[in-house]
Chains A and B, each alone.
Chain A
């Protein structure tokens, strides 16, 4: 069930280099969000903002009276909408619809045989769905989780310390070599997959299109289950505008060539979609 609300902003944190974290006081949404699900958010005045924007539910706030007080959205300033978001202050209101879509699924949750658990792959602001995932993992699962975190430069690796406290292992890569391995994040991912004695249960990835395409190919080649959190322009977020489609990998006919990112995704198995 998705909630359609106007809620207060309670925190706005400048994470530097155009990255921000905003907290919305929507306990209902925070309590029911699964990792990888998203919300449509905007300013409440339709004359100011006609089309809301989709963002991952990044993290839930600590509980107050039994349920989380709200949730965080991580965003980067790309255009005038995200710029306007960055000017909001605690006490401002935002309109929000969510939680929406299909999130990540955690395979064999109760298995505990000591093997590698999950490989998370994040590119820049593509780290956004992973804090909530880590909040939902057991401590033992989190210890066996590796985050491969890539960016153009060190400044793109936001919340790095937060991830380091919670993940068993964090491997970074930057295109300019300012942090971790120099180059794309897929290089250490491939190295780790080839070095692991046993395969991880799943790769979960979120990042720019080129990274997603590469990670999907890596997962498919090695037969490792691979979940992709895909972004596409959308107007509604709940399945009616039909704006946010991606190509299905195995259509049964011409009429079902596409799937909606908002409803059938945003998290897809790499075998489901053609990027």
Chain B
């Protein structure tokens, strides 16, 4: 990208991304929908919509609502299923010069294993991201994601059938993020995606009922950014050698830098893609410009740098 700065980042198990900016699962379709608006080759990677063994219809509407600096969604993992993904989406996506990360969703251990196995022989899958944290489906997801033992079990089961770099996307809806992070690593995770959405809800005060048909939804957007940064910080502090992909309300290059300073090696842009389908590559080029303007010659200098700088102590607070 920018000749003045090295942007490549190593996110574990030998996977090197050309830059730290990826797009988040569930906000970027299967990538191809964005081609009128940006060049996928300018992204560090694309994380596709969660893929389950069978196609899923998702939840009844209403599925989304805007909230202060954020939005709630309860899509319910509508997706085409792994067979159609492999037949219809992957052949096009693998032609693009970017890392394709497949988000894998299931309601039981066998589902994760089934999708991972189906993808094992497919070319063009740079990594698997296990979605152990969707708050919007009644079975599975979040329950698995809240139990350290279940996280380890699912991760280990997929590890046994997949040689691909394995990312585990964790839910923030736990009392101790470091504990669940350790479980994923114990199960064989190469990288941690921190974090999925927070459980939230909105009530229509005129109609006196929940706005979303699913009642609860996942909160995303800038509203959750400080919460996400804190979790990245905590996990990086506890597990400094484990690669982290940070996610939560990123809308600009400055937000990327914030996550990297907390300890993330890469990030995912999510909800902002809805606002502006061209935003992700702009963030990637702005990040390089940010570094050049500050004399940063390698983005890896940023990773965890804030943990090495003592916090400000001046002032009268």
Please provide the chain A residues from 129 to 146 with a CB less than 8 Å away from any CB of chain B in the complex: none
Are A240 and B55 touching (Cβ within 8 A)? no
Name the distance in Å between B36's Cβ and chain A's nearest Cβ.
6
For B61, the chain A residues whose CB sits under 8 A away are 232-233, 243-246, 258
A47 and B73 in contact, given A236-B273, A245-B61 (Cβ under 8 angstroms):
no
Q: Which of A46, A97, A235 contacts B71 (CB 8 A)?
A: A235
Q: How large is the interface on B (under 10, 10 to 19, 20 to 34, 35 or more residues)?
A: 35 or more
A63 shortest CB reach to chain B, Å:
26
- The distance from the CB of A85 to the nearest CB of chain B, in whole angstroms, is 15
- Contact check, B64 vs A235: say whether CB atoms are below 8 A apart: yes
Asked if A4 contacts B37 (CB within 8 A), the reply is yes
Q: How far is the CA of A1 from the CA of B69 in the complex (A)?
A: 30
Q: Say yes or no for A254: interface residue by CB 8 A criterion.
A: yes
Verify if A147 is at the interface (C-beta below 8 Å from B): no
Question: Does A1 lie within 8 Å of B36, measured CB to CB?
Answer: yes
A238 touches B (CB below 8 Å): yes
Known: A47-B251, A50-B71, A52-B275. A242 touches B66 (CB 8 A): no
How many angstroms between the C-alpha atoms of A232 and B64 in the bound complex? Answer: 10
8 Å CB contact of B56 from A46, A47, A243, A255: A255
Q: How far is the CA of A263 from the CA of B262 in the complex (A)?
A: 39
B278 touches A46 (CB 8 A): no
Q: Contact flags (1/0) for B255-281 with A, using CB distance below 8 Å? A: 000000000000000011111111100
Q: How far is the CA of A21 from the CA of B69 in the complex (A)?
A: 27
Q: Is there contact, CB below 8 Å, between B275 and A241?
A: no
Residues in B whose Cβ lies below 8 Å from that of A255 = 54-57, 81
Main secondary structure of the interface of A (DSSP, over half): loop
Which of A42, A47, A233, A253 contacts B64, CB < 8 Å?
Answer: A233
Partner of A51, one of B27, B28, B71: B71
Q: How far is the CA of A243 from the CA of B29 in the complex (A)?
A: 12
| Chain A contact residues, CB within 8 Å of chain B | 1-2, 4, 42, 46-47, 49-52, 95, 97, 232-236, 238-247, 253-258
Q: List 22 A-B contacts (CB under 8 A).
A: A4-B37, A46-B275, A46-B276, A49-B275, A50-B271, A52-B274, A95-B275, A232-B61, A232-B62, A234-B64, A235-B64, A235-B73, A238-B277, A240-B49, A240-B274, A242-B75, A243-B63, A245-B61, A246-B61, A255-B81, A256-B57, A257-B57
Taking Cβ atoms with an 8 Å cutoff, the residues of B that contact A are 27-29, 33-34, 36-37, 49, 54-58, 60-66, 69-71, 73, 75, 78, 81, 221-222, 251, 271-279
